[in-house]
């Protein structure tokens, strides 16, 4: 007898009302006639570009469109419950108990005022009626199950004290608290570096194998799909355009749209084809350091969680500590660089004795895990963050200690494209005015500045007529193009791009990367490309620097670093990069599992060397 469907979706349609000026309202159809099913232990990936309707379809499985004004039709059954006819009380019992969701951004999904353990315990208590003591014990149990070290102690920590990967694990733990039969994961690895991404995907795979739950994975990254699911459904404009096993879809796609998505996935083995660059050095950093004080919240929380005889802060690093590249609550060890530690509070080395150079017209890629110091280094290069010590030489002139007045002429040469274009654009100003601001500050007249900005908009692939539109009217990829146009406005010689494509789907990512390459050739730019996606970095870079814990552990010609990595950390990063071949992905997953087992049995140091 065929096992019943845990998830049965038939002819699902979801439409949202939209305003049309004073003429009234209309609707936009986000999901149009979608059908699929999931049985116990099965996994399905919904894949497509931003706006394809995949997240809307996932939300429908939990009835999250109820009360939003959305029009939902078709049949959605989860664990035998018809969501169209279910009462609000039945929906509440279904969510968490039978089906649970892991959201893309765990920091916004977790309450900052409650400890992580308390939030998990509350979910368990509300859905099961268990006692507070039993629910607290369950919270520790699931945190341990998803790999949170010292789960009993870490359960008392708050979300901001966890790193990005640990927060995602905590959210998975919360979803598992009531042992759901179906888990929906909406872009669970989008903003994570490759090693943490691999850990989360391996965790989801292991949990599915151990518990028999069904998994629906929503992602724009086909590389993620190869090692994480059994089946793939490709969505375009709200419809399923291709559906089949992960092997058949990835190896022999039938639809042109699927082939285009696969071709847009950056390959680790792809070499950059670019004309030779100058050997002349434009920017050089020497023995650069940046120290940050220990985060107060993390330090105080560690102190409150320490047991008798235990030093405060001796546990896992907090989220803030990871972002600054050093463990929480522990003073940074002296290094051989020029930096020095000031004050009584422990200070951490976000950047620790870095020396590297950027040549005219070249692209230098900087890679490393979250907290390795990449962003801090990039911000110091353009003097948005002051170095603690060391030198920054622009055309041989040291600008590391320059005051603001001395920096004014330098600002035109050094610009930055930020990771999050939304937060870097003023929501109350049109994008044209934001781009024109440095031109107006430099003395360009209003009409001339508008004309120049319109030309820049067209150059980055946006209509000049969009000058007066506001940031919320643009997609993620379009906002990133606005950020690039703003950086180009003053005709810089060097642009630091900080994770410029990390949140974009693969096709939009490819467009932005291609645009940067074209602009580099057209304007003779030097680029510093900071990213955790090693495949993207290889596509765009002439040379690569690998950072770990604030230091550059390896650097050189991109092909040499990728084809013959010398440092164990570089080899580990490369081994964690997702691959499109399902068989190779399975081999790598088993290798990582073996490495984790070795790590647990032998203490970790030897395992890291093997990696």
Q: Confirm if 379 and 416 have CB atoms less than 8 A apart.
A: yes
Same domain, 28 and 138: yes
pLDDT given at position 602: 57
Q: Give residue for tokens 């419950």.
A: 81
Same domain, 556 and 597: no
pTM, 2 dp? 0.78
Annotate 201-219 with DSSP letters as a single string.
HHHHHHHHHHH--EEEEEE
Where does 58-123 show beta strands of DSSP type E? 71-78, 81-82, 99-102
Domain encompassing residue 195: 7-264
Which of 220, 218, 237, 222 lies closest to 52 in space, CA to CA? 237
Please report which confidence band the pLDDT of residue 97 belongs to, taking 50, 70 and 90 as the band edges: confident
Q: Is the torsion defined by CA of 465, 484, 523, 562 positive or negative?
A: negative
In this prediction, residue 184 carries a pLDDT of 93
Q: Give the pLDDT band of residue 314 (cuts 50, 70, 90).
A: very low
One domain for residues 524 and 467: no
What span, in angstroms and rounded, lies between the C-alpha atoms of 414 and 405?
15
Residues 575 and 607 in one domain: no
Whether 190 and 94 map to the same domain: the answer is yes
Residue 263 predicted with pLDDT over 90: no
Q: Is 301 within a domain?
A: no
Q: From CA 181, how far away is CA 277, in angstroms rounded?
A: 56
Rounded distance between C-alpha atoms, residue 531 and residue 211, angstroms = 35
480 & 522 share domain: no
Answer whether residue 330 is part of any domain: no
**What is d(CA 347, CA 290) in angstroms, rounded to the nearest whole number?**
10
DSSP 250: H
Residue 509 sits in the same domain as residue 433: no
Give the tokens for residue 118. Answer: 């308390």
Residue 517 confidence (pLDDT) above 70: yes
Using 50, 70 and 90 to split pLDDT, how confident is the model at 8?
very high
252 by Cβ neighbours in 10 Å (0-12 / 13-18 / 19+) ranks as: exposed
The model's pLDDT over 20-78, given as tens digits with 9 standing for 90+, comes to: 444 446 788 999 999 999 999 999 999 998 888 999 999 999 999 988 888 999 999 99
Q: From the CB of residue 364, how many other CB atoms can be counted at a distance below 10 Å?
A: 26
- For the chain, what is the mean pLDDT? 83
User: Dmax of the chain from CA atoms?
Assistant: 79
In a domain, 305, yes or no: no
Using a 10 angstrom Cβ sphere, with 0-12 exposed, 13-18 middle and 19 or more buried, the burial of residue 607 is middle
pLDDT digits (tens, 9 = 90+) for 559-571: 999 999 999 999 9
Supply the CATH number for residue 512's domain: 3.40.50.300
317 has a pLDDT exceeding 70: no
If phi over 0 gives left and psi between -120 and 50 gives alpha, with beta otherwise, what is residue 509? alpha
What pLDDT, on the 0 to 100 scale, is given for residue 303?
A: 32
In this prediction, residue 276 has a pLDDT band, given cuts at 50, 70 and 90, of confident
440 and 503 inside one domain: no
Give me the pLDDT at residue 325, please: 35
The least confident of 159-168, 177-186, 210-219, 336-345 is: 336-345
Q: Which of 460, 491, 522 is the last residue of a domain?
A: 491
Which H helix or E strand runs over 15? strand 7-19
Q: Is the pLDDT of residue 305 over 90?
A: no
In whole angstroms, what is the distance from residue 591 CA to residue 396 CA? Answer: 47
pLDDT, residue 22, reads 44
Q: Please give the DSSP secondary-structure letter assigned to residue 83.
A: T
Tokens of 133: 């003591």
For 135, the token pair is 């629910």
Do 213 and 239 reside in the same domain of the chain? yes
Residue of 303 and 365 predicted with greater confidence: 365
606 and 523 together in one domain = no
Q: Compute and round to an integer the Cα radius of gyration of the chain.
A: 25
- Tens-digit pLDDT profile for residues 221-253: 887 888 889 999 999 999 999 999 999 999 999
Structure tokens at 24: 């009234």
The pLDDT assigned to 350 comes to 85
Strands (E), 189-327: 214-219, 231-236, 239-245, 281-293
**What tokens appear for 514 in the block?**
């291609």
What the block records as the tokens of 79 is: 């664990």
Q: Is the dihedral of CA 586, 592, 596, 599 positive or negative?
A: positive
Structural domain count of the chain: 4
* Closest to 6 in 3D by CA, of 75, 127, 98, 128: 98
How many of the other CB atoms lie within 10 Å of CB of 106?
A: 23
- Per-residue pLDDT band at 603 (split at 50, 70, 90): low
């Amino acid at each position: 007898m065929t096992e019943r469907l845990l998830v049965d979706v038939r002819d699902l349609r979801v439409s949202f009302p939209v305003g049309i000026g004073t003429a009234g309202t209309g609707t936009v159809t986000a999901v149009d006639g979608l059908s699929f099913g999931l049985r116990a232990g099965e996994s399905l990936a919904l894949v497509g570009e931003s706006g394809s309707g995949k997240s809307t379809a996932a939300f429908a499985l939990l009835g999250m469109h109820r009360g939003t004004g959305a029009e939902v039709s078709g049949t959605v059954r989860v664990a035998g419950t018809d969501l169209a006819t279910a009462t609000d009380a039945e929906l509440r019992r279904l969510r968490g108990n039978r089906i649970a969701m892991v959201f893309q951004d765990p920091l916004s999904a977790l309450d900052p005022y409650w400890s992580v353990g308390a939030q998990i315990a509350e979910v368990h208590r509300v859905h099961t009626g268990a006692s507070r003591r039993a629910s607290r014990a369950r919270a520790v149990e699931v945190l341990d199950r998803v790999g949170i070290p010292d789960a009993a102690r870490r359960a008392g920590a708050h979300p901001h004290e966890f790193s990005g990967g640990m927060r995602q694990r905590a959210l998975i733990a919360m979803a598992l608290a009531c042992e759901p039969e179906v888990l929906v994961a909406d872009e669970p690895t989008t903003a994570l570096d490759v090693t943490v991404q691999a850990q989360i995907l391996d965790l989801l795979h292991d949990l599915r194998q151990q518990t028999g739950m069904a998994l629906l994975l929503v992602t724009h990254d086909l590389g993620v799909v190869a090692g994480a699911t059994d089946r793939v459904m490709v969505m375009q404009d709200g419809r399923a355009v291709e559906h089949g096993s992960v092997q058949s879809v990835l190896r022999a796609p039938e639809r042109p749209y699927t082939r285009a998505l696969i071709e847009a996935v950056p390959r680790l083995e792809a070499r950059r084809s670019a004309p030779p660059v100058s050997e002349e050095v434009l920017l050089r950093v020497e023995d650069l350091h940046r120290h940050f004080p220990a985060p107060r919240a993390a330090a105080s929380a560690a102190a409150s969680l320490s047991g008798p005889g235990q030093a405060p802060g001796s546990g896992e690093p907090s989220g803030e500590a990871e972002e600054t590249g050093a463990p929480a609550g522990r003073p940074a060890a002296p290094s051989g660089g020029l930096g020095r530690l000031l004050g009584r509070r422990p200070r951490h080395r976000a950047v620790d004795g870095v020396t590297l150079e950027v040549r005219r017209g070249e692209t230098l890629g900087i890679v490393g895990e979250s907290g390795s110091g990449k962003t801090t280094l990039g911000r110091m290069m353009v003097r948005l963050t002051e170095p603690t010590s060391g030198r920054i030489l622009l055309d041989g002139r040291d600008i590391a200690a320059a005051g603001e007045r001395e920096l004014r002429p330098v600002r035109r040469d050094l610009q930055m494209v930020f990771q999050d274009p939304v937060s870097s654009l003023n929501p109350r100003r049109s994008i044209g005015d934001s781009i024109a601001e440095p031109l107006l500050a430099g003395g360009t007249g209003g009409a001339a500045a508008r004309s120049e900005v319109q030309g820049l908009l067209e150059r980055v692939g946006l209509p000049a007529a969009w000058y007066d539109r506001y940031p919320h009217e643009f997609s993620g990829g379009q906002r990133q193009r606005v950020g690039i146009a703003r950086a180009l406005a003053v005709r810089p010689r060097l642009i630091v791009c900080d994770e410029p494509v990390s949140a974009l789907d693969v096709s939009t990512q490819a467009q932005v990367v291609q645009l940067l390459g074209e602009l580099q050739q057209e304007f003779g730019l030097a680029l510093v490309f900071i990213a955790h996606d090693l495949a993207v970095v290889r596509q765009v870079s002439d040379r690569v620097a690998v950072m770990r814990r604030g230091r550059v552990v390896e650097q050189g010609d991109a092909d040499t670093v990728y084809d013959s990595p010398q440092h164990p950390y570089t080899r580990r990063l490369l081994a964690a990069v997702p691959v499109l071949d399902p068989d190779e992905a399975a081999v790598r997953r088993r290798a990582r599992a073996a490495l984790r087992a070795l790590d647990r049995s032998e203490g970790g140091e030897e395992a890291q060397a093997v990696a």
